[in-house]
Structure 1
Amino acid sequence: MSQKAQKAKGWLVGIAVLSGIWLIQNGSATQLIPPQPSTAQAFAAGPQLQPGSPVAEPLRPSAPVRIRIPGIDVDAPMMRLGLGADGSLDVPPAGNRNIAGWYKDGVPPGAKGTAIVAGHVDNARGPSVFYALGALKKGTAVEVVREDGRTAVFSIDAIEVYESEDFPDQRVYGDSPHASLRLITCGGGFNKETGYRGNVVAYAHLTEVR
């Protein structure tokens, strides 16, 4: 990773609350509460790979172009996300309900390390790309199509929900010895005055390459 990318990655740590605030302020006013992960889908004892799940060798870096999660009917293009002037991660356009974004100065999905992918839970017109993220189960497949023509297939290890003030930066953004993936959206309950109270995060690792 270049020095510039390392610096940008450092800025990324701690921005979950800011990203969540942006999504809250631009979220749906319909109060359609998205699914929230159950405690059974959380890690039993800290971040770890799903027992018995294969671990594929990391790929060379290549930008993602599409994400598919058949279990929750996600099939969306991907865009590059940078950092805003305040150091927070940019987010996909709120008006497009079927697009996800990846942190372009970090690790691309499928390469060694932790790749960050963000998507809206909803907007003023209703559910968006990651609306059902909290309904995922351990072992669910996540497919990321890359510019090099390969599809990186990940398996979900856990899905957790955090209140904004308790967001675990290192747990979510920390480096990984494997090709790991984090999917992030808003969640943690809804208040009609302040919006979503936190974030849902899905943890996954690379299990197959097609």
Structure 2
Amino acid sequence: MAAPQPRQSHQPQSRQSCPSQQPQTKPASRSHSRALRWPLVAAGLGALLIHNSLESRADLKPQTPPAVSAPAAPAAPRATAPAADPALPRSAPERLSIPQIGVNAPFTDLSIGASGQLNPPPADDTNLVGWFRGGASPGERGTSIVVGHVDTKTGPAVFSRLEALRPGSTVRIMRADGIVARFKVDSVDAFSKADFPNKRVYADASSPELRLITCGGAYNRSTREYEENVVVFAHLDSAQRA
């Protein structure tokens, strides 16, 4: 889907905060495969968003030896050595930086609450993003989920300009282990909350991937909720010590 056009950065003061996607089912223990965990986490998200959108609340080939032939004959080509595994060890994220849209925000951990729903970032802090700690950490193999409010009762919030990102945009995440994970945006899409593609967004990945999620689309004043979700799909591009 083509990336949606940027929204106006200022929202009506009467709107309440809009948390991002909220898994309903508590994820399995990290000792189980994420391939088993994420389908459970993603189940029922579309319906949950409709009701809660305004609450306060990511093969090795053997080398071929040189051919034995006349001295003038070139050696047979060698297979290309595999690239180094880009995945990083697990480490909690500490800060998100997206200079293109003016984001420089700290993280808070998000977990599944007693209700079985993911607790969103606090609505009283407009410059705060949340990481679902039950999933992969940013840069770790798998799909890492980062959510943020598009606005709150007081005005625009941390992800108010998220949909202005484009393929090739850079997202940097500073981790607790001192490594800066640099992600490259693959696509920016807007999905109807009534038909949200849970599997596409939350499916486990064999390489380090990142999802940035917030609310978007038209604001329905009668239901007091946004009609869409904006999702940024990105992959780990590089990593280095801060």
TM-score by length of 1: 0.80
Partner Cα distance (1:136, 1:201) in 2 = 10
Q: Structure 1 residue 189: deviation in Å?
A: 1.6
Indicate whether 1:191 and 2:191 are aligned.
Answer: no
Tell me if structure 2 keeps the 8 A contact 1:161–1:187: yes
Cα separation, partners in 2 of 1:23 and 1:129, compared to 1, 3 Å = farther
Aligned equivalent of 1:162: 191
Q: Which runs of 5+ in 1 are unaligned?
A: 28-53
Aligned equivalent of 1:202: 232
AA matched with 2:174: V
Partner Cα distance (1:166, 1:55) in 2 = 38
Cα separation, partners in 2 of 1:16 and 1:75, compared to 1, 3 Å = farther
1:9-67 CA-to-partner distances (Å, cap 9, x unmatched) read: 4442135432564342449xxxxxxxxxxxxxxxxxxxxxxxxxx99701011010111
Q: Structure 1 residue 2: deviation in Å?
A: 1.6
Tell me if structure 1 keeps the 8 A contact 2:39–2:203: no
Q: Structure 1 residue 84: deviation in Å?
A: 2.3
SS at match of 1:170: helix
Tell me if structure 2 keeps the 8 A contact 1:19–1:89: no
Aligned equivalent of 2:112: 83
Q: Note the 1:113-192 alignment, pairs <5 A.
A: 113-192=142-221
Tell me if structure 2 keeps the 8 A contact 1:58–1:178: yes
Partner Cα distance (1:89, 1:83) in 2 = 4
Partner Cα distance (1:20, 1:130) in 2 = 19
Cα separation, partners in 2 of 1:167 and 1:149, compared to 1, 3 Å = same
Partner Cα distance (1:140, 1:95) in 2 = 28
Q: Which moved more, 1:54-63 or 1:145-154?
A: 54-63
TM-score by length of 2: 0.70
Cα separation, partners in 2 of 1:74 and 1:20, compared to 1, 3 Å = farther
SS at match of 1:3: coil
Identity %: 40
Q: Note the 1:19-30 alignment, pairs <5 A.
A: 19=49, 21-26=51-56
Aligned equivalent of 1:66: 95
Q: CA RMSD in A?
A: 2.3
Q: Structure 1 residue 86: deviation in Å?
A: 3.3
Partner Cα distance (1:20, 1:66) in 2 = 29
SS at match of 2:187: strand
Partner Cα distance (1:202, 1:141) in 2 = 11
Partner Cα distance (2:163, 2:125) in 1 = 20
Partner Cα distance (1:140, 1:170) in 2 = 24
Identify the structure with the greater helix proportion: 1
Tell me if structure 1 keeps the 8 A contact 2:191–2:229: yes
AA matched with 1:168: P
AA matched with 1:169: N
Q: Which moved more, 1:17-26 or 1:148-157?
A: 17-26
Partner Cα distance (1:169, 1:181) in 2 = 15
Aligned equivalent of 1:105: 134
Q: Which runs of 5+ in 2 are unaligned?
A: 1-29, 58-82
Partner Cα distance (2:161, 2:89) in 1 = 30
